[in-house]
Chain A
C-alpha cells in the first residue's frame, strides 16, 4: 500500500516561514491535499490539489508537489498556526485514501 512520510515535528519562530514535507513514491504524479488540526478540533482543509486554497484560507498557506516530495509552506507564521498538519492522497491502485503520519508545528 502507498505510504506517506512526514516529519514528526517542525519548529519555527513567529514571522518566519515553515515548510512541512510529505514524502511518497512518485508523489508528484498524485494530487496532494493538506489538513490542519488544532487540539480538540476536527481537521480543516488548507490546501488541495497540491497548491489550491479553499475559500477562507489565508494566502500565507501554499503548496507544491514534485518528484517524491510534496511541501506545505506557511509564510509569516503566527501563533495561531500551531497545529498538527496532515498530507493526504488518493491511491488509485488500491482505491484508498492515505494520510501521512502528521507533523506537529510548534511556533517558538
Chain B
C-alpha cells in the first residue's frame, strides 16, 4: 500500500525556517517524481515545488523561488522541503504527492498534510 506521511510542520515566526519531511513507503520511491502542494486555510490548492526521480531537476513556484529548497534522499525514501524567510502568506497545509516517471505526470497519491503556521 502506498503511503506518504508528512512531518515537520508547526509554528514559526515570520522570517524563520522550517524543514518538512515526507516519508514514503509501499512503492519504489527512487523511480517517481515527487511534489509539494500547499493549501492556505479556506483557499485552493497551490503548487509549490517538484523534484525529478533522481533529484537532478527541481522546479519551484515563483512565490517560493529562492526561499524554499526541495530535495530527496532515495536511500531513506524521504522527500524534504526546506523553507526559509517564511511569511504569513506561507501559512498553509503542505501536502506531498507522488507523481510519475516524469515531473509532468499528475499526482496519484497524496499524504494527509502537515500544517505550517507563521505567526509572531
Report A's interface with B, CB cutoff 8 A: 1, 33, 35, 37, 41-45, 48-49, 54, 84, 86, 88, 90, 92, 95-102
A1–B46 contact, CB under 8 A? no
Point out the residues of chain B lying under 8 angstroms from A49, CB to CB. Answer: 106
Whether B101 is near chain A, meaning CB under 8 Å from some CB there, is no
Contact with A along B94-115 (1 / 0, CB 8 A): 0100000001101110111100
Which chain B residues (34-74) contact chain A, with CB distance < 8 Å? 35, 37, 44-47, 50, 59, 61-62
Residues of A within 8 A of B35 (CB): 97
State the B residues within 8 Å of A (CB): 35, 37, 44-47, 50, 59, 61-62, 95, 103-104, 106-108, 110-113
From A1, which residue of chain B is reached at the shortest CB distance? B62
Give chain A residues whose Cβ lies under 8 Å from the Cβ of B108.
45, 48, 54
Query: Which listed residue (A37, A88, A98, A102) contacts B106, Cβ 8 A?
Result: A88
CB-CB nearest in chain A for B102? A90
User: In angstroms, how far is the closest chain B Cβ from the Cβ of A28?
Assistant: 17
Q: A97-B50, A98-B47, A102-B44 are in contact. Are A43 and B110 (CB under 8 A)?
A: yes
* Whole-angstrom CA separation of A101 from B110 in the bound complex: 19
- Find out whether the CB atom of A48 lies under 8 angstroms from the CB atom of B59: no
Given A97-B35, A97-B50, also A45-B45 (CB < 8 A) = no
Q: Tell me if A42 and B47 are in contact (CB < 8 A).
A: no
**Contact yes or no, B45 A42, CB < 8 A:** no
Q: Could you say which of B45, B59, B107 contacts A102, with CB atoms under 8 Å apart?
A: B45
What residues on B are CB-neighbors of A35 within 8 Å?
45, 107
Whether A43 touches B45, Cβ cut-off 8 Å, given contacts A1-B62, A95-B59, is: yes
Q: Given A90-B104, A92-B104: A97 and B110 within 8 A (CB)? A: no
**Is the pair A42, B44 in contact by a Cβ cutoff of 8 Å?**
no
